[in-house]
Amino acid sequence: MIFNTLGVSPALRERLIAIRRDLHQHPELAFAETRTRDVLERELLRLSPVRIDRVATTGLIARIAGKDPHAPVVALRGDIDALPIREATGLPFASHIDGAMHACGHDVHAAWTLGAATLLREQPAEGDVLIVMQPGEEIGEGARAVLQSGLLDDVQAIFGAHVDRRFVVGQVVAQAGPLAASTDVFDIVLIGKGAHGARPHESADPVVCMASVISALQTIVARRVNPAAPAVVTVGMITAGSAPNIIPEQVELRGTLRATDEVTRALLQDELRQICTHIAAAHRVTARVTFSGGVPPVVNGVHAAAWAAEAAAHVLGADAVVRLGYTNMAGEDFAFYQERIPGCFLRVGARNADEEVIAAHSPRFDVAEDAIAVGAAVLAECARRASSSLNAGAR
Ligand code: NI
């Protein structure tokens, strides 16, 4: 097995797989990861002496000592929460919890982050490394909660990674620039005047207005956004009406906006508001528009991405580092760390060559478990390289 060359002993590899399977069997949703937290805390305590702080309700930060207590501090982040999905993999270690599943690989992320901590205990970085076990990624709130602890205030570089079944085990994406999109939720309420369905002239019909609004929203990406910048406007929910012969008082539309830079992100919001306000006025309807729950785009820094690419090449060979191709338009709350700390988010191949690509968030999602050792070794090496470079710069 080529992965025995990663500095990950067979014993550690087996232990990380066992922990991953245990977490997989007992998935916990955002901010309810108490058992998960306890398992990870117990495992991190085996690396003693290690300082562990509980943060963000169900999260942990462990401090792995470096060689030089005055050297810059870097952080590795693994997310630990599951999704409200009923598992359909048929795996022997499938979820024991009905309606909850690790369908995004965060069980693997927890395991490889623990593995990185173990490797950094064996072969320390220059400075201390904070191991962040983060809850609540799937609802986009965990990273902010961790940052509020203040424990990352002196961190000078941060790394995290996601399993990716579009790539085979041994391939790693570590590149500068945008990697994932912003995710803003919009909520549009169109308030008109209800009437009998047979007397539309007595109404201000929000349903007809809604139809125009939905069509016009499609012109934002087609006619307002620079075609070179990726963007998405999707209406995913419509709530309207109570009977076939009643024109309702109001309707509601909800959806998501995606962009990979802040200029496009602001433009999407502004254009959406303009379209709603003016089309509503043309229909004698009032539009109320609100935005919520957004994470910023993940944009990898040049230095952090270079350290990550060097780390992956060092661990796996130069051929292992591959380009993402198209930017991923899903969101990732790692972006909140990157607003404050230079960092790189990696994607780690998680499919065996003979397997099909199964999308994350599918009830059939699974991960090739050799990815765990790869993630552990690459993340540990990211920390060492960033730490050495920052320390050299600080002198
Ligand atoms: Ni995920």
Tell which residue, 111, 137, 132, 127, has the closest CA to residue 15: 111
* Residue where a domain terminates, one of 250, 266, 295: 295
Q: Which residues pair with 344 in a beta bridge?
A: 159
pLDDT of 234: 98
Using the mean position of ligand 1's atoms as its centre, give its distance from the Cα of residue 9 in Å: 27
Using the mean position of ligand 1's atoms as its centre, give its distance from the Cα of residue 358 in Å: 14
Using the mean position of ligand 1's atoms as its centre, give its distance from the Cα of residue 104 in Å: 4
Using the mean position of ligand 1's atoms as its centre, give its distance from the Cα of residue 330 in Å: 9
Using the mean position of ligand 1's atoms as its centre, give its distance from the Cα of residue 318 in Å: 26
Number of alpha carbons in the 13 Å side-chain half-sphere of residue 314: 16
Using the mean position of ligand 1's atoms as its centre, give its distance from the Cα of residue 24 in Å: 14
Using the mean position of ligand 1's atoms as its centre, give its distance from the Cα of residue 205 in Å: 41
Using the mean position of ligand 1's atoms as its centre, give its distance from the Cα of residue 196 in Å: 47
Q: Do 42 and 141 fall into the same domain?
A: yes
Look at the pTM and tell me if it is higher than 0.85: yes
Using the mean position of ligand 1's atoms as its centre, give its distance from the Cα of residue 112 in Å: 14
Provide the residue range defining the domain that includes 154. 3-179+297-394
Using the mean position of ligand 1's atoms as its centre, give its distance from the Cα of residue 162 in Å: 6
Model pLDDT for residues 161-220, shown as the tens digit of each residue: 999 999 999 999 999 999 999 999 999 999 999 999 999 999 999 999 999 999 999 999
Alpha-carbon distances, residue 280 vs 30, 186, 201, 271, 284 (angstroms): 37, 16, 16, 14, 6
- Number of structural domains in the chain: 2
Using the mean position of ligand 1's atoms as its centre, give its distance from the Cα of residue 336 in Å: 15
Q: Do 287 and 306 fall into the same domain?
A: no
Alpha-carbon distances, residue 33 vs 112, 134, 156, 366 (angstroms): 17, 10, 28, 20
Using the mean position of ligand 1's atoms as its centre, give its distance from the Cα of residue 137 in Å: 7
Using the mean position of ligand 1's atoms as its centre, give its distance from the Cα of residue 362 in Å: 12
- Residue 208: CB atoms within 10 A of its CB come to 17
Alpha-carbon distances, residue 116 vs 19, 131, 136, 140, 314 (angstroms): 14, 8, 21, 24, 15
* Residue where a domain terminates, one of 295, 321, 352: 295
Contacts of 281 (CB under 8 A, 6+ apart): none
pLDDT of 1: 45
Using the mean position of ligand 1's atoms as its centre, give its distance from the Cα of residue 361 in Å: 8
The separation between the first and the last C-alpha atoms of the chain, rounded to the nearest angstrom, is: 41
Q: Do 86 and 189 fall into the same domain?
A: no
Among left, alpha and beta (phi > 0; psi -120 to 50; other), residue 215 is alpha
Q: Do 166 and 91 fall into the same domain?
A: yes
Using the mean position of ligand 1's atoms as its centre, give its distance from the Cα of residue 62 in Å: 21
Using the mean position of ligand 1's atoms as its centre, give its distance from the Cα of residue 279 in Å: 37
pLDDT of 395: 63
Pairing of strands 172-173, 51-55: unpaired
Q: Do 56 and 170 fall into the same domain?
A: yes
pLDDT of 31: 98
- Residue 156: CB atoms within 10 A of its CB come to 21
CATH of the domain at 348: 3.40.630.10
Tell which residue, 101, 96, 95, has the closest CA to residue 83: 101
Using the mean position of ligand 1's atoms as its centre, give its distance from the Cα of residue 51 in Å: 27
Q: Do 42 and 168 fall into the same domain?
A: yes
Q: Do 210 and 74 fall into the same domain?
A: no
CATH of the domain at 231: 3.30.70.360
Q: Do 104 and 78 fall into the same domain?
A: yes
Question: Helix or strand or coil: residue 136?
Answer: coil
pLDDT of 58: 98
On whether the CB atoms of residues 146 and 134 are closer than 8 A, the answer is yes
Using the mean position of ligand 1's atoms as its centre, give its distance from the Cα of residue 145 in Å: 17
pLDDT of 5: 61
pLDDT of 3: 53
Query: In this structure, what token pair is assigned to residue 286?
Result: 């009032």
Q: DSSP readout, 186-199? A: EEEEEE-B-EETT-
Using the mean position of ligand 1's atoms as its centre, give its distance from the Cα of residue 360 in Å: 7
Q: Do 130 and 167 fall into the same domain?
A: yes
pLDDT tens digit at each of 395 positions of the chain = 455 468 899 999 999 999 999 999 999 999 999 999 999 999 999 999 899 999 999 999 999 999 999 999 999 999 999 999 999 999 999 999 999 999 999 999 999 999 999 999 999 999 999 999 999 999 999 999 999 999 999 999 999 999 999 999 999 999 999 999 999 999 999 999 999 999 999 999 999 999 999 999 999 999 999 999 999 999 999 999 999 999 999 999 999 999 999 999 999 999 999 999 999 999 999 999 999 978 999 999 999 999 999 999 999 999 999 999 888 899 999 999 999 999 999 999 999 999 988 889 999 999 999 999 999 999 999 999 999 999 998 76
Using the mean position of ligand 1's atoms as its centre, give its distance from the Cα of residue 320 in Å: 22
Q: Do 173 and 241 fall into the same domain?
A: no
